[in-house]
Amino acid sequence: MERRASDILRQTLVISSAGFMLVAALIGSGVFGEDASVEQQQGGYLSDQGSYLAPAGPAFSIWSVIYLGLLAYVVWQALPAQRDDERQRAVGGWIAASMVLNGLWLVVARFGPLWSTVLVIVALLVVLARVMVLLGQKRATGFAQRVLVDGANGLHFGWVTIATVANTAAWLSAVAPDSWEQLAGIWGVVVLVLVAVICSVCAWLLGRIVPAVASAWGLAWLAVGRFTDEPQSAVIGVTAIIVAVVILIVGVFAVLRGGADARHG
């Protein structure tokens, strides 16, 4: 009976967290009559022109896919059949925390200082990394789990990895002296090389392609932004494309390796 009550509480917590995330998303988009959406907040530093590492505007359409996937997950995990699923017991609370932090970011982006958005998105990235590690400890059973649990959270993790870089760059652009812009190309390349290493290691260790695809999506649009919009930087644009390709290649090989291990295990 106690275990059953705990499972119901977990399912309810996930539903409540999703509700908070959706309300925060509506506030962030300005649908309640506010005079500015997220990209217009914080002096424009959170826009697609806010820094040298900001993806172009169309990149953010991935949020629609992530939200749709998370909401489908919320409905699915609330079904009685998932109540005592050990995998959901392991990750449900962490996924709920990720949705709360997702919504909290939108709140602090509108009402808090710019540095607070960096703290929240870093916390979100850490929580999502924990989700991916837990999901990797036990294979998904069935198509629904692969898509709604591993897929939706993998997209969230991969995109937030790039969003964390962009958010941090936005904050640094706001506080750094103007003279630092002369070295923007160099530092941009250095950061993207680090992104390549981190994302490649994650893809290889996790054995998943979805986070790599989401990260590559953000990097591709980062390149578009640097080639076609302000601030322009060909060297950052080219580096972003190379990094995106590298991450995808590592992700593909990681999945193939995982499949081979499963066949010989």
Residue 44 lies in a domain: no
Residue 148 lies in a domain: yes
Give the total number of structural domains in the chain. Answer: 1
How confident is the model at residue 169, as a pLDDT? 95
How confident is the model at residue 178, as a pLDDT? 82
Report the phi/psi class of residue 30: left, alpha or beta, with left for phi > 0 and alpha for psi in -120 to 50.
left
All residues at 6 or more sequence positions from 230 whose CB lies less than 8 Å from its CB, including other chains: 49
Residue 39 lies in a domain: no
Residue 2 half-sphere exposure toward CB, CA atoms < 13 A: 0
CB-based contact 90:14 (threshold 8 Å): no
Taken in order 84, 89, 91, 95, is the CA torsion positive or negative?
Answer: positive
Residue 135 lies in a domain: yes
Q: How far is CA 133 from the centre of its chain?
A: 15
pLDDT tens digits for 198-231?
999 999 998 899 999 999 999 999 999 999 999 9
pLDDT tens digits for 130-175?
999 999 998 888 899 999 999 999 999 999 999 999 999 999 999 9
Distance between CA atoms of residues 54 and 174, nearest Å: 13
Residue 86 lies in a domain: yes
CB-based contact 169:225 (threshold 8 Å): no
Residue 217 lies in a domain: yes
Question: Residue 181 corresponds to which tokens in the numbers above?
Answer: 């812009």
Domain that holds residue 123: 2-34+54-264
Residue 29 lies in a domain: yes
Reported pTM: 0.93
